[in-house]
Structure 1
Amino acid sequence: MFKKILIPTDGSPLSNQAALEGITLAKQIGAEIVCIYVARERQNPAFDFSDVPIKNQISPEEYEAAVATAGNALMLPLREAAEKEGVKFTRLIEISNTAANTIVQTAEENGCDMIFMGSQGSAGWASMLLGSVAAKVVALSQMPVTVYKVKKAQVPAKAKINIGVLPI
């Protein structure tokens, strides 16, 4: 069966709910987790980190530090859930404008044999024109991908986090 599962998260409650389900699966089958957070390259930090004060110019090092701080905070509840369940948990933080490619490549590089990720199942023109990260991962991956469809009504409080103000 599966021994190492890659779980991508963007830190949203829906993504975290899917990740919590992935942790439950990992416990049931005796697998370990590699959790990845992928931030976009040099975007305005306020876009992803809504509580981060904006500076006009930040260095690449400052941006990487902000992403690392945010990624660690966003994955904290997942790491705690994995520890509580006795599931080995490794966290990775990447910066890339091609999240789907990075997710698949990271799974391959880390010896994962499955990717478990959430999807809101968005519909409409935006989804048809742009496609979702989950759909792109399914198309790119040579390994099994489980897409957990999350509904807003089923997101528990423990999936919601507040990262506070991050230093930049």
Structure 2
Amino acid sequence: MYKKILLPTDGSGYADQEIERVSNLIADDGEIIVISVAGKLTSSAFQSRKNVRKVNAEMLEEAKENVAKMVAKFDNSLNVRGVVKTGFPAETINKVAEDEGVELIVISASGKSGLHRFIIGSVAEEVLKTSDIDVLLVHNK
């Protein structure tokens, strides 16, 4: 059993499959941290600051909604906390895992990563490659 597990979510339906696995792996006195990472765009010659701010605000709001929905799906007897961050998803997930003293990252094999990633989503693949913490890659059915 693990004392602290990090569960990234991008709001895709795939992450729901992780709830049962995480619930079975967490110690009775353990903590589950659900995280969603909102990307952050910077303005360029092609996009105004106003448009970039609007898109960033929308991505942050979506991340907050993703976390709230995921946290609400867990049994109330479990210690579950939501975290929303801004940044590059894989890098941010790994940093939060380190900072929080997480023992396991449970991540879905695919999500909103595009059609070119059939087996492993790009964020999951990057977390798997770069994390110093154990990663459980959940196969989606």
- Fold conserved between structures, TM > 0.5: yes
Equivalent residues of 1:115, 1:145 under 8 A apart: yes
Identify, as 1 or 2, the structure richer in helix: 1
Q: How does 1:114-125 map to 2 (within 5 A)?
A: 114-120=104-110
- Which residue does 1:57 correspond to in 2? 50
Kept in 2, the 8 Å contact 1:99–1:133? The answer is yes
Give the aligned length: 131
Q: TM (normalized to structure 2)?
A: 0.75
1:99 corresponds to which residue? 89
Other-structure match for 2:14? 14
Q: Which residue of 2 aligns with 1:161?
A: none
Structure whose residues are more often strand by fraction = 2
Distance 1:63 1:110, change over 3 A: farther
Cα distance 1:22–1:102, how it changes in 2: closer, same or farther (>3 A)? farther
Kept in 2, the 8 Å contact 1:9–1:36? The answer is yes
The unaligned stretches of length 5 or more in structure 2 are: 43-48
Query: Is contact 1:117-1:134 (8 Å) kept?
Result: yes
**2:24 corresponds to 1:33:** no
- Over the aligned positions, Cα root-mean-square deviation in angstroms equals 3.0
Describe the superposition over 1:109-134 as per-residue Cα deviations: whole angstroms up to 9, x where unpaired. Answer: 1111110111139xxx9349x97211
The normalised TM-score by structure 1 is: 0.65
Distance in 2, Cα, partners of 1:79 & 1:108: 21
**Structure 1 unaligned runs (5+)?**
44-55, 152-168
Aligned to 1:135: 125
Structure scoring higher RCO (CA < 8 A, sep ≥ 6) equals 1
Alpha carbons of structure 1 residues 135 and 59: separation in structure 2 relative to 1, 3 Å: closer
CA distance, structure 2, for counterparts of residue 66 and residue 8 of structure 1: 19
How far apart are 1:33 and its partner, in Å? 0.7
1:70-103 Cα distance to aligned partner (Å, 9 max, x none): 2222222321222x2411111111121x311111
Sequence identity percentage: 26
Name the structure 2 match of 1:47.
none
Distance 1:23 1:81, change over 3 A: farther
